[in-house]
Structure 1
């Protein structure tokens, strides 16, 4: 199956030593993107990828057109009202990027175009507009632009009346900014130029030089990153500092921008909290007093230290409290029970409270955009693996709901009733029940003969909720079953589900995924010959781990921007994200964590064995997982593996962690992935 011209990276032994343990990394030299030899090697890999997938090129194009054909090209978001204006994002047919608009007071008013991203992006291979912030008087907009894909935004300010840009250009920001109530003062976040950690908050006053900007906060602890926002009540500007395990906030009245930020409650290792303001009080979502699944506390705005916090909603062992949204007469709790989203609506006067009814086991429900404080209407979203997304306005007083928009699936072939979704539970090796959400076409046989794509992430407490995808229909309509494995390391079953999949329990993430795979095979959903796995970033680490631990279970694996060189990366404090993630993976400068991480790190555990077919993707400018991790992993796999299965590395030389920026260009990347799977299933038509 493998042709000639296979790239073989040269070996330059590099000695890595710590804890009296020596590792020899033959491909360490690949971490220099300024080295022409490195670029040459990456280009060889791309040439090789293109050569071995040339026979699928036409199919990729037809897949792209098929997926694009389901998307309403002249689409628009449901408008939302904020501070007297209706805001909407719309797309033009054939265009890649959104157009941001608003209308004063009524949707019948004249449309103002705030940003036409198609015009802004025309001279760039990559473009992302982020963090649009409108001044309180509605006259100015601060916004960030990234044209490299390293999430380093240039912050600018636009006069919405004249269309003119201020000369102020602030480099290397997070893209967002917060206006004080004076319409002249902006607070923004700078990144460390090397590690890209968000570590400094500055204050900028319009009409002054950037050089005169005042540093109002510097987060010196390398395990923390910082951010700034304004409370929904508009009364406070808040600076947050968070690490994996610990939180700290500072507050300043928004109409006193030259005042001093005051610490809300000083950080204590292991104490996590977030704050929302209402009336003369703050409401604190926190894990204090061993509230593993979080509880809600309350304190007077004049006494915010944790000594003054009082319980408002108690901790519940079977319910994860995820968020609170505050309105004038109601508050809304976002909860998760037995893996399922719940939205609870409560009157502040306690005269009424109820849950929104949902009757599916694979749905996703979430609070949408609700910037207005004085309203009875809650906007929320709903979808499932088999049900397109809906945006719903719900009157919290009358309990009437209006579906403002249901996602259109064009092309004329999609019918909800043709797809079945369900939730099933596998039993892990240690006896733990692991849930999976799956969807398939009703005509797909469940006799072991069907191809199945199993997806998971499993880190940082990030839950992959079962959501609808028009793109995924291209697999389902060709007989694939799609499964989301809710493995430990996410928070699908509460905070303990996360705790059981991190640090010295990280292996549970990998064994859960493998046990789910075995369950799917044993129960005839698929077979080893037709089982495929996919994950990206930290989910790519999962892919690398299962490829080493259980290669015989999978016919193919897609590892997108995979975090696979865990030991070396976590020992290099100059790499973005490293120091802030010790509480997720462990600090390998400590022997116990070094040994444990080394025991599963995909790059360090490659061995002479057969591996599944592999498609690996990365971006040269990736700031989250540096390109050299997948490049080194592939180079070492080529040297060790004993099979003739496909091993393909596709490097986007123009983008970073999130891939292409345009709404259609990103589909070309999905088409590559799907063509890889369908080719292995011999489902590509002859040209």
Structure 2
């Protein structure tokens, strides 16, 4: 028996009964306000009744969306047929080896490889990657790790990081087989192919070897999944004897580490979205321990890049001291021993209200800066000669020929005469360039190493991306990226999708996406709303969409929807919305604000029970969120403000559109319980008849199930749900 199309008729929901969770009232009282939560018991992950309920939800979802199966299959095949399945990354040179990853048709995971490099690396020609052809054996190739072999027999596989010793003999790698982002670290001897007995369990992201290769640095997360310890493991010793190099006890601070560009220091970074602290370990004098640059008590948000220049220890600082959009200063390392007010900092790039400085690093000859101007991310290079003096040369940027694009750092080696860049736009597949660092009048060339192939007859000229502007209720102009087929007729009859995120100063930059073509080829106008809370328009854009300004994120998205509805491109009754994680909170908020404006909403791993989560610092990552949303535990104004928008607590008796909440059982960032509770509340309160479903991956993490094919299936499911609801199922 074939079930009727779930989106086409109300009777689809009659094909299976929607699971109804029992109501177990639990009262939560803060600041004199009491909220009764009927579904908090669904948090009991080990409760068989909860697992049974979630399986019932998935069965209901499968029944309701059964009519979309062919559309899902079509979209999956379109993604597959456009993708060159046997492919490889552009090799990157490091310590005399070329490192790259291969993908093989029919395999879900990449194979990490390397091959010996020639030349001493002093000439640009030495940095020309070897020709490695898909499907062709490479003489001398060494397989570091075959993800397919590692994943065999496992419910989930993810590689969480890797590191190689400078002599190239040892390879450390971290594997997650549950989706909970806790990794098992193992070490492989590349000379013999054997695994060392050293095994580290429950590590977090981050691996690095000491220069002599005898010590491995790794991260550990606490019970709330907050990375808080940097530990050292001496190879050949029991893991139980590993020492804590640094421990961060402030539950609102995040910790990480990395090697300096010249690999002379280990940099431990501690911070939140508003201030930070960097501590350096000098590998030449490890007995000195970690040395703090600017203490967090100064409330400066900064990144530090230490390097040696003309015999003097220098630190390149990207910081927000008297500079909301950040600026760059050059400081002698000795200055940090003085009180901050007495330190001598030399301005390298001054603050600019129209330019957001994202970060800076160095090579042996140049400063490399990542910045954002006119919403566009770009890279700028400046010679170190004369840096911070009157003789400082002007920064130079590679020139590209598109208006809307993204150019970002793809990695660099300290002694290299080139830097690696990744370029993309909405309809230009990712290109990998090596940019020859300019010296005097020489250099500055862009050397194209690869453009990601797109099969199936793809032609970029068949599509158009334009910058448009919506106007929010307070008069703020909100940038939009509007994507469509070039042959689409502006007759007001087409379907549309609005996508947004709007948190953590994350920008939705132009970038190519094969799956999205399946929507565009069905006549969908796809709008990316660059709402406040993101970083597209500088630091103020982020600050105007966080804490007590958070509601701007939601009203900006509604304004973007109104722009699309009135643009002449679409039928206002055929608009869908999509967002994930914090963008899923956005989906929940706009569903409450303006349910009538959407035919369907897909909320991916949605943060829809934000207030409950942030009120409990014992829950994963909750305390880290205070700098983003405010602390409702101590601040009654924040509590009241959050209660006014958190989606779960603001569900109201209106006709909600079709809604799909997509989640994973092992997600540690947004727990499955949030969308599970939200769906129950929506179903019990909505006055409409449209289906509201919970799609749950029982073996997945924050990104869903693992493997590229499962990822394509997930995207196909999401897009099919939307396309079906907005009547965009047929290819044009």
Q: TM-score, normalised by structure 1?
A: 0.97
- Cα deviation, 1:64-102, whole Å, max 9, x if unaligned, reads 122111111110000110111111111111110001111
* Residue of 204, 208, 213 corresponding to 1:174: 204
Pairwise CA distance, 1:238:
1.2
Tell me if 1:482 matches 2:501: no
How many angstroms apart in 2 are the aligned matches of 1:508 and 1:31?
30
How many angstroms apart in 1 are the aligned matches of 2:727 and 2:257?
51
How many angstroms apart in 1 are the aligned matches of 2:142 and 2:403?
42
Tell me if 1:375 matches 2:416: yes
How many angstroms apart in 2 are the aligned matches of 1:605 and 1:594?
14
How many angstroms apart in 1 are the aligned matches of 2:142 and 2:71?
41
Pairwise CA distance, 1:258:
4.8
Tell me if 1:266 matches 2:298: no
When residues 113 and 415 of structure 1 are mapped into structure 2, their CA distance, relative to the original with a 3 A threshold, is same
Cα contact 1:244–1:580 (8 A) shared by 2: no
SS in 1 for 2:708: coil
Pairwise CA distance, 1:251:
0.8
* Residue of 587, 590, 593 corresponding to 1:546: 590
- Residue in structure 1 matched with residue 134 of structure 2 by the alignment: none
- Residue in structure 2 matched with residue 292 of structure 1 by the alignment: 324
Cα contact 2:92–2:100 (8 A) shared by 1: yes
Equivalences for residues 430-469 of structure 1 within 5 A: 430-469=474-513
TM-align CA RMSD? 1.5
Tell me if 1:45 matches 2:81: no
When residues 258 and 643 of structure 1 are mapped into structure 2, their CA distance, relative to the original with a 3 A threshold, is same
Pairwise CA distance, 1:109:
5.5
How many angstroms apart in 2 are the aligned matches of 1:514 and 1:338?
23
* Residue of 352, 355, 360 corresponding to 1:316: 352
How many angstroms apart in 2 are the aligned matches of 1:177 and 1:364?
28
When residues 96 and 258 of structure 1 are mapped into structure 2, their CA distance, relative to the original with a 3 A threshold, is farther
Pairwise CA distance, 1:685:
6.5
SS in 2 for 1:664: helix
When residues 269 and 600 of structure 1 are mapped into structure 2, their CA distance, relative to the original with a 3 A threshold, is farther
Pairwise CA distance, 1:333:
1.6
How many angstroms apart in 2 are the aligned matches of 1:613 and 1:351?
57
Pairwise CA distance, 1:351:
4.4
- Cα deviation, 1:612-660, whole Å, max 9, x if unaligned, reads 1111100000100000000000000010001111211100001111112
Structure 1 unpaired stretches of 5+: none
Pairwise CA distance, 1:352:
5.5
When residues 343 and 175 of structure 1 are mapped into structure 2, their CA distance, relative to the original with a 3 A threshold, is closer
How many angstroms apart in 2 are the aligned matches of 1:134 and 1:258?
24
Tell me if 1:84 matches 2:96: yes
Tell me if 1:216 matches 2:245: yes
* Residue of 84, 101, 117 corresponding to 2:147: 117
- Residue in structure 1 matched with residue 389 of structure 2 by the alignment: none
- Residue in structure 2 matched with residue 648 of structure 1 by the alignment: 693
How many angstroms apart in 1 are the aligned matches of 2:728 and 2:475?
38
- Residue in structure 2 matched with residue 362 of structure 1 by the alignment: 404
- Residue in structure 1 matched with residue 182 of structure 2 by the alignment: 152
How many angstroms apart in 2 are the aligned matches of 1:71 and 1:334?
30
- Residue in structure 1 matched with residue 656 of structure 2 by the alignment: 611
How many angstroms apart in 1 are the aligned matches of 2:190 and 2:205?
18
- Cα deviation, 1:420-463, whole Å, max 9, x if unaligned, reads 11000111110111000121111222232111111110001111
Cα contact 2:532–2:545 (8 A) shared by 1: yes
How many angstroms apart in 2 are the aligned matches of 1:676 and 1:443?
25
Cα contact 1:466–1:484 (8 A) shared by 2: no
Pairwise CA distance, 1:269:
5.7
Tell me if 1:631 matches 2:676: yes
Cα contact 2:262–2:363 (8 A) shared by 1: no
**After the TM superposition, which of the residue ranges 66-75 and 296-305 deviates more from structure 2?**
296-305
How many angstroms apart in 2 are the aligned matches of 1:630 and 1:269?
39
- Residue in structure 2 matched with residue 128 of structure 1 by the alignment: 158
Cα contact 2:356–2:538 (8 A) shared by 1: yes
Equivalences for residues 393-408 of structure 1 within 5 A: 393-397=434-438, 398-408=443-453
SS in 1 for 2:570: coil
Pairwise CA distance, 1:310:
3.0
- Aligned residue pairs total 682
When residues 206 and 492 of structure 1 are mapped into structure 2, their CA distance, relative to the original with a 3 A threshold, is same
Equivalences for residues 510-589 of structure 1 within 5 A: 510-589=554-633
- Residue in structure 2 matched with residue 422 of structure 1 by the alignment: 466
Cα contact 1:528–1:552 (8 A) shared by 2: no
How many angstroms apart in 2 are the aligned matches of 1:311 and 1:353?
14
Cα contact 1:429–1:515 (8 A) shared by 2: yes
- Cα deviation, 1:563-602, whole Å, max 9, x if unaligned, reads 0111111111111111111111011112110000000000
Structure 2 unpaired stretches of 5+: 1-9, 119-129, 131-137, 386-391
Cα contact 1:438–1:481 (8 A) shared by 2: yes
How many angstroms apart in 1 are the aligned matches of 2:506 and 2:395?
28
Pairwise CA distance, 1:285:
0.5
- Cα deviation, 1:25-50, whole Å, max 9, x if unaligned, reads 01011000111111111111101001
- Residue in structure 2 matched with residue 338 of structure 1 by the alignment: 374
How many angstroms apart in 2 are the aligned matches of 1:342 and 1:683?
35
SS in 1 for 2:162: strand
Pairwise CA distance, 1:165:
1.3
Cα contact 1:334–1:343 (8 A) shared by 2: yes
SS in 2 for 1:471: helix
Pairwise CA distance, 1:257:
4.2
Pairwise CA distance, 1:135:
0.9
SS in 1 for 2:21: coil
Cα contact 1:564–1:603 (8 A) shared by 2: yes
How many angstroms apart in 2 are the aligned matches of 1:344 and 1:270?
28
Cα contact 1:14–1:26 (8 A) shared by 2: yes
How many angstroms apart in 2 are the aligned matches of 1:145 and 1:12?
38
